[in-house]
Structure 1
Amino acid sequence: MKNNNEWGSNLAFILAMIGSAVGLGNIWRYPYVLYSNGGGAFYIPYIIAILVLAIPFTILEYGVGYNFKSSFTKAIIKINPKLEYFGWILPVAVFIMTIYYSTIIGWDGIYFFLSFFKGWGANPNAFLTNTVLHPTDSLGGIFHFLPFVAISMLVGWFIIWLVSHKNLDDGLGKVCKIFVPILFITMIIIVLFSLTLPGAIIGLKELFEPDLSLLWDFNIWLAAFGQIFFSLSLGIGAGFTYASYTKKDIDLITSGLYVVIANSLFENFAALGIFSVLGYMSLQSGTPIPNIVSEGVTLIFVIYPQVFNILGVISLILAPLFFFTVYVAGITSMLSAFEVLSISIQNKFNMSRKKATTILVIVGALTSMIYATSCGEYILTITDSFINNFVIILCVIIECILFAWVFKAERLINFLNSKSQSLKLGKWWLILIKYIIPILLCIIWIGGINKLIATATNEYLLVIAILVAILLICSLIFTLLKPKSENWFKTEERIK
């Protein structure tokens, strides 16, 4: 009988993990981080972050997830039954992240539709502000509903339901097999074309010009580790969950290396395209690149439409390709985050995959409507900062302690090495996951908290207080509800 929660092949697992890692952060966040943190010099801390943080922690998540072959929450109970409350905090936090992620996908869905006829007009900046977002920098715009944004977001949620409610390999596995290669192919087409634009070399020189003096600035190291953490979606439970669905012959170490390398190649390749475009814009307008470059919403929904306006007929092909690429990157990442809470609910309440995903999609879609208001971008910014700079990093620190110390990660070494055709684990790996990574993440966490406090207004703190209450209360409810599965407290381990 086919297991509804198992990958049909190891390739499906690898593509799903690449789809989870490759997201919006690779396209709009990384190029700006690279540029603003020393250009070519940034690669020194960036590569060290990959070696010290990304690869070791990815292998740890995969190994523990494979061992328990269950949801993150159920595995935490197996490690220590008294920690079920913590086992729900991470899935609930990731679901909150999924909800606001749907907003960005909704914005991109609008622009994908507009890209076929350049519906953003001659002034993309004014269009984004006055027609799409109507942004406010306070909660005062919460009663100004944005119907087109809402409709686009609901389409995204329907796609999530369409994929997630099916058996794992028939839904998520099939989507990743088709769309992850398309994601890379379309990005290659866009970047190769961007490199041919007049002035592309101007942007590339600006991007890669190394400022070695910044290597003595602690912030560049924090930026590198933060970027790796963000772009690979470390610690959100997706790697743990996806690895639990793998077959017995999986080479988890090599799979982890493939995911990390693919993610790094994608975001660096995307940076080539974006700065080639910025170089072209600089040449055409006579404006220095530092006055053009920006991050986030402006980069995707203002600068690119400006370029497509200039390019002429070819943009009627390139523009849909670009926004389709962004959409696929967002959907595949959202699918992986959605899965974390879904499988935990299935496990505890003995719920079918279809029922659990349907309930979560309805709850997520209705809750996400708060972002389809004029203060949606404002709330999104606060929520994103809170979840990524506080909750997720703190959860990963606790994960390192639980997985490396309480579970005893050394139990995984012989099994992982026996399957690996590449890297072999040893004491170096244990030193990294037991000592180096928790210490580094504590530093990043403290830095994030300091930044949060330094920029917080009373209204900002109010939103965070509401988020904390939602996170803690929902996690408590899931903990206190009586399990309907007889096997909730029984978890077999693959690795003895």
Structure 2
Amino acid sequence: MNENSGWGSIATFLFAMIGLTIGIGNIWRFSYVFYTNGGGSFFIPYLIAIAVMGIPFLILEYGLGFKFKKSFSKLLYDIDPRFEIVAWALVLFVFIVAIYYMVILSWDFIYLINSFTFGWGNDPSLFFTTNVGGSSNLSGIGSVILPTFIAIIILWALFWLVSNRDVDKGIGRASKVLMPLLFIIMSFILIYSFTLPGFELGLATLLKPNWLALLDVNIWLAAFAQIIFSLSIGQAMVYTYASYLSKESRLIDDVFMVVVANCLYEIFVAIGIFSILGYMSVTSSIPITELISEGTGLIFIVLPEVFAVMGPIGRIIAPLLMLSILFAGFTSSLALFEPLLSSVCDKLNWSRKKGVTVLVIIACVCSLFFSTGISSYLVEIVDTFVNEFGILILIAIQAIIFTRYLDMDEITAVLNENSTIKVGRKWKFVLKYLLPLMLIIMWIIGIYNLIYNVDGFKIGIYLLITLIVIGLSVFFVKVNPKND
């Protein structure tokens, strides 16, 4: 790993880590997951998932990165050369996430430009299908959505400008600017939402507890899944960022700061969004349950309709929300890119600038394949497969490898050295037994859902991704095998 790479200060590292964890999922995924899985009662499995899975694994990744200071692929190779292929498979899956993540950001970029004039017109759904994300109609696979095509190129160019510099001057400086702005924007949206008539309806709808839901195992699995995706645990991003730490750091304390910032952010965003939905329900006489949607439907269809009925203030809220999504997504995309970059540069002895340039070109070309008339449908298919099939099981495998092949007492000593909060036997028990068990259960359920909803087109995409990941993993294992 490049010895010159490193964070200039602990504050810069923390901003980057918060930027890593806070992403698009916090804005459009959490509120829907919270509402559909018991409302206020969801806090119980949510907090337990943080305590059992989120914090323990983040602490492990911080400790491993800080102690070993090497690329993720090199770490697993040094543990046992047989494990190197696991590392490459994981960083490649995470790189695929970066590829389609930038496509989603391109949609948001288009909406940001149109938000000042409400360029989506009276039918945001038609605007999204025609000019942004396309549809699930496979006949559109041969057409290109030009605005999305152009936006992808622009965003990858901006990405290159930030990422090709040393981590402190590139990612670090970007995070120190974008993260405070992100919190300021969302604070304004949250405060303003409380002045809207009907906001109480939105809050009551979101927070109303369903205690019987706690008896449903799927509610608990949803909480654990949310924590995995929200905190980006086990995806080599946290490990890679921590490996750039060169100064003394209160590692465990830092974990808690990042987790608290991430969780407060997504809870406040959910409250703000539901307050706005409550306002729209009251003013339009549409039941709020009909306005609640997930993901792209919420951000690119429902909320633009809300902005239209808000009057002049909607022209302020709309750009701010779209800008906050762009900021959150951009800092997360920087983190998604970093594990493969670090591993490739380490393996091939490339400079950071060369690695960034080559991988950005590859990623940009791949992202452009998502700009066809089935853009959103293709993103949905790839996202489901990569996360529920690839990343989940690889996180479980990591937990098994690290707790059985590394000296956990030595890792514990590194973590506790400067930290106010300490870890010990309970932490090691959770990582060794409880966490892998939960992940494997979730993976089996995910595989069942994939098989249950499969069709010929999806099978083709699944096989293509699998062959690419396996082929490239084998290639990187075989190339320059003696490189140190």
1:392 alignment partner AA: I
Partners of 2:54 and 2:125 in 1: how far apart? 36
Alignment of 1:17-96 (within 5 A): 17-96=17-96
Match of 1:133, SS state, is: coil
Question: Using the alignment, how far apart are the partners of 1:481 and 1:414 within structure 2?
Answer: 35
> Matches of 2:428 and 2:49 in 1, distance apart?
16
CA distance in 2, matches of 1:51, 1:31: 20
1:448 to 441, 446, 449: 446
Q: Residue type matched to 2:77 in 1?
A: I
1:4–1:168: 8 Å Cα contact kept in structure 2? no
Q: Is the 8 A contact 1:33 1:223 kept in 2?
A: yes
Aligned-pair CA distance for 1:410: 2.2
SS in 2 for 1:112: helix
Contact 2:22–2:332 (Cα < 8 Å) also in 1: yes
The 8 Å contact of residues 76 and 87 in structure 2, kept in 1 or not, is answered as yes
Indicate yes or no: 2:119 matched with 1:111. no
Where in structure 2 are the equivalents of 1:90-169 lying within 5 Å?
Answer: 90-138=90-138, 140-169=139-168
- Give the match for residue 314 of structure 1: 313
**Distance between the aligned counterparts of 2:166 and 2:403, measured in 1?**
32
Matching residue of 1:474: 472
The answer for the alignment partner of 1:386 in structure 2 is 385
**SS of structure 1 residue aligned to 2:383:** helix
Query: Is the Cα–Cα contact under 8 Å of residues 371 and 379 in structure 1 kept in the other structure?
Result: yes
Cα deviation for residue 3 of structure 1 reads 4.8
DSSP 3-state at the match of 1:58: helix
Distance in 2, matches of 1:136 and 1:294, equals 18
> Which residue of the partner structure matches residue 15 of structure 2?
15
Matches for 1:11-410 after TM superposition, within 5 Å: 11-138=11-138, 140-410=139-409
Mind listing any 5+ residue stretches in structure 1 that lack a counterpart?
490-496
1:109·1:152 contact (CA, 8 Å) conserved in 2? yes
SS of 1:70's partner is coil
Counterpart pick for 2:437 among 429, 436, 439: 439
Provide the C-alpha distance between the structure 1 equivalents of 2:3 and 2:319, rounded to a whole number of angstroms.
37
Query: After superposition, what is the alpha-carbon deviation per residue over 1:429-484, rounded to whole angstroms, capped at 9, x for unaligned?
Result: 0110000100111111111111111111122111101110111111111222226x
1:461 alignment counterpart = 459
How much has 1:137 moved relative to structure 2? 3.8
Instruction: Tell me if structure 2 keeps the 8 A contact 1:109–1:327.
Output: yes
Alignment length (residue pairs): 483
For 2:4 and 2:169, the matched residues in 1 are separated by 9
User: For structure 1, which segment, 78-87 or 35-44, has the greater mean C-alpha deviation from structure 2 after superposition?
Assistant: 78-87
d(CA) in 1 for partners of 2:146 and 2:203? 40
SS at match of 2:132: helix
Letter in 1 for 2:450: L
1:4 and 2:4 aligned = yes
Partner of 1:464, secondary structure, is helix
**Structure 1: which amino acid aligns with 2:248?**
D
Cα distance between partner residues in 2 of 1:213 and 1:408: 42
Letter of the 1:83 counterpart: F
* Identity between Structure 1 and Structure 2 (%): 43
Per-residue CA deviation, residues 262-283 of structure 1 (Å, 9 max, x unaligned), is: 1100000000111001101110
Partners in 1 of 2:377 and 2:85 — Cα distance? 30
Q: TM-score, normalised by structure 1?
A: 0.95
Q: Deviations over 1:275-302 (max 9, x none)?
A: 0011011101212111110001110011
Secondary structure of the residue that 1:154 maps to in structure 2? helix
Residues in 1 aligned to 2:80 and 2:49: alpha-carbon distance in whole angstroms: 31
Contact kept in structure 1, 2:99 and 2:363, CA below 8 Å: yes
| Whole-Å separation in 2 of the counterparts to 1:3 and 1:481 | 23
Tell me which moved more, 282-291 or 94-103: 282-291
Matches of 1:152 and 1:181, distance apart in 2: 25
Structure 2 unaligned regions, length at least 5: none
Are 1:21 and 1:231, in contact at CA under 8 Å, matched by a contact in 2? yes
Instruction: Give 1:89 shift.
Output: 0.8
Q: Would you say 1:427 and 2:419 are equivalent positions?
A: no
Output the amino acid matched with 1:461: I
Runs of 4+ deviating beyond 3 Å: none
SS class of match (1:419): coil
Shift of 1:376: 1.8
Q: Which amino acid aligns with 1:91?
A: V
Distance 1:158 1:370 in 2: 17
Counterparts of 2:74 and 2:24, CA distance in 1: 30
Amino acid of the residue matched to residue 426 of structure 2? Answer: W
Q: State how far apart, in whole Å, the 1-side matches of 2:452 and 2:100 are.
A: 24
SS in 2 for 1:101: helix
CA distances 1:221-271 after superposition (whole Å, capped 9, x unpaired): 001001011111111111000000002301110111111111100000000
Residue pair 1:190, 1:273 contacting (<8 A) in 2 also: yes
Deviations 1:44-64 (A, max 9, x none): 100100100000000001111
Matches of 2:344 and 2:113 in 1, distance apart?
35
Asked whether the equivalents of residues 142 and 370 of structure 1 are also in contact (C-alpha less than 8 Å), the reply is: no
Would the aligned equivalents of 2:72 and 2:339 in 1 still touch at CA under 8 Å? Answer: yes
Letter in 2 for 1:13: F
Tell me by how many angstroms 1:320 deviates. Answer: 1.2
Q: Separation in 2 of the partners of 1:154 and 1:195?
A: 38
SS at match of 2:310: helix
